[in-house]
Structures are given as C-alpha cells and as structure tokens.
C-alpha cells in the first residue's frame, strides 16, 4: 500500500514512526544478551537458551490497521483481527 493510500485510510505514517522510535527508547533497557536485534515493525526475537538446537523465539504484535477499512467497505467484520 502506498503512503497516500495509508493516509486516505486514516494512517499517519510519520506519527507511527515517531511512536515506534519513542517505544524503542523506552524498551532499550530491557534488552538482554539473548535479545536478537533492535525494535522492529512487528516483532522481536530472543534466543531460547536451554535444551533446543539453535531455537529463536519471535514475539509479534500487530493491529488491525487498514483492515478495518476493508471490513467497512465489504460490510463484513467477522474476519477483522484474525
């Protein structure tokens, strides 16, 4: 989706980037030696230390975002958030 399409759907990408940067600063102190990488768009990765061969746990958070616009256009809300 292009920036203009996001904007028409009510998404402010600059504001989202600012919020992610602020969250990154707030959670920076929670990193451990098991943390893989920095704060990203949808998830974080950590090593699982014991008993498994090279495991990586990916934690993910995502919102419904512009999917609500599609639900409104189709009149179908039962799939939003799935």
Q: What is the pLDDT of residue 2?
A: 67
Residue 50 near residue 65, CB atoms below 8 Å: no
Q: What is the pLDDT of residue 66?
A: 74
pLDDT tens-place string over residues 19-63? 888 988 888 888 888 777 777 656 677 777 788 787 877 777 667
- Report the predicted TM-score, pTM, of the whole model to 2 decimal places: 0.49
Choose between 10 and 60: higher pLDDT.
Answer: 10
- Report how far residue 13's alpha carbon sits from residue 18's, in angstroms, rounded to the nearest whole number: 9
Write the CB contacts of 68 (distance below 8 Å, at least 6 apart in sequence): 80
- Report how far residue 78's alpha carbon sits from residue 60's, in angstroms, rounded to the nearest whole number: 22
Say yes or no to pLDDT of 64 above 80.
Answer: no
Strands (E), 26-75: 35-36, 43-47, 56-60
């Amino acid at each position: 989706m292009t920036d203009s399409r996001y904007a028409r759907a009510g998404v402010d990408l600059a504001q989202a980037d600012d919020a992610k940067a602020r969250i990154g600063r707030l959670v920076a102190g929670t990193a451990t030696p098991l943390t893989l990488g920095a704060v990203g768009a949808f998830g974080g990765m950590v090593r699982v230390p014991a008993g498994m061969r090279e495991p990586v746990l990916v934690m993910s958070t995502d919102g419904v975002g512009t999917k609500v616009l599609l639900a409104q256009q189709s009149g179908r809300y039962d799939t939003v958030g799935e």
